[in-house]
Amino acid sequence: MPNFKIMKHTILFALMCLVMCACGEKDDPQPQQVKNPISFRLFLIDEEGNDCTNSIYSNNLGEYITIKYKDKVYEAKKNSQNEYGIYLSCYYTGTNIGRVVEFGGIDGSKEFENESFTIDCGNGETNVVTFSNRKVVTANGEEFVQECKLNGVSVDKSKIVCKIGIHDYIYYCYEKFGLLVSGPGYSQIRFSPVDANGNSLLENKEFIKKLKEGTTFTYRGITSNIETEYTGSKLKLKVTNESFGELEKEQRILFGTFPVNKILKDQRIEINWFDGSRDVVDINFLSHYKALNDPTSKYFDPSIPQEVLDVKVNGVQLDAPQAYRPSTSVHKILLFVHKKVFDWK
């Protein structure tokens, strides 16, 4: 005879499993596709008005841009465009347009008036895009139309032009004076960690381990863990023994690397070290051929702003940067160094 007691328990167990699975599905909703997504394309120019979107800088454009929208800051990432949320992407279109920077994923199925986002390229200039989404009735029924303004001036949302803060002084000198100049191509800010007796901590494995695990930094409103790999020219704080492919036994703590023709104005990095100490780094950086600022030089150009190489840590200005050439690069690096003392025993 069938054992009805066992059958009863088996059925109850199966029902419980079904209920638990249903609850699990309910608690883990699938992302919803954005309806009628609105997007904006940014075309970035240098200080002389030249297109940077499809230039030698195109691979690094995303490193210089953030957008703040509704109190959230978005970093540009390569090929990050999607159908399920807001994004800031730098990608290659595969057409004659070439590479573009796109901010998109905004829900266009609702009406709104004078929404705005702010473009920050780190050069001290603020670009505010204001946009509206209005429902209108046409012969084909209801549809949405958008209006877009850049700093109060009407623009096409598919072609928003703004300066990225690049001044190519080498090209400028050649174009204006036929002058070939050379100098450091990149810059870094390095932190040299020492104990109270001045001994370097860069070869201390336990120190490096804690540094990697517990150090964060905030830049342009985004807080991140210290990076542990060399990632090219990104404006990030990182600990690595590699730079331009050059490997060293010691680790390096650095911010950068960034090209010397990149203008950084009123930039602040807040570093929270693993030991609870905190440093505030303020950067104002504009490098170019010094003769352009010299009234006694035949290359003097009064329209060119004064060179500024100003890096402060907790309000104290660092020494003038020194140039050095990595063994694996033809470019010299303009190097700022800060000696950071840790209470380490």
Q: Where are the domains of the chain?
A: 38-163, 169-341
In the predicted structure, residue 181 carries a pLDDT above the cut 70? yes
**Spatial distance between the Cα atoms of 65 and 125, rounded to a whole number of angstroms:** 12
Q: Which residues sit opposite 143 in a β-bridge? A: 136
pLDDT-derived band at 76 (thresholds 50, 70, 90) equals: confident
Closest C-alpha to 103, from 123, 73, 133 = 73
pLDDT of residue 113: 95
What is the average pLDDT across 328-344? 87
In the predicted structure, residue 3 carries a pLDDT above the cut 70? no
CA of residue 132 relative to chain centroid, distance: 27
| Whole-number Cα distances in Å, 101 to 67, 75, 106, 213, 307 | 11, 11, 15, 33, 29
In the predicted structure, residue 173 carries a pLDDT above the cut 50? yes
Q: What is the per-residue pLDDT across 151-163, written as a single tens digit (0 to 9) for each?
A: 999 999 999 998 8
Share of the chain above pLDDT 90, in %: 43
Q: What is the per-residue pLDDT across 109-124, written as a single tens digit (0 to 9) for each?
A: 999 999 999 999 888 8
**pTM, two decimal places:** 0.82
Closest C-alpha to 215, from 236, 235, 244 = 236
For residue 8, give the amino acid letter. Answer: K
pLDDT-derived band at 60 (thresholds 50, 70, 90) equals: low
What is the average pLDDT across 15-36? 56
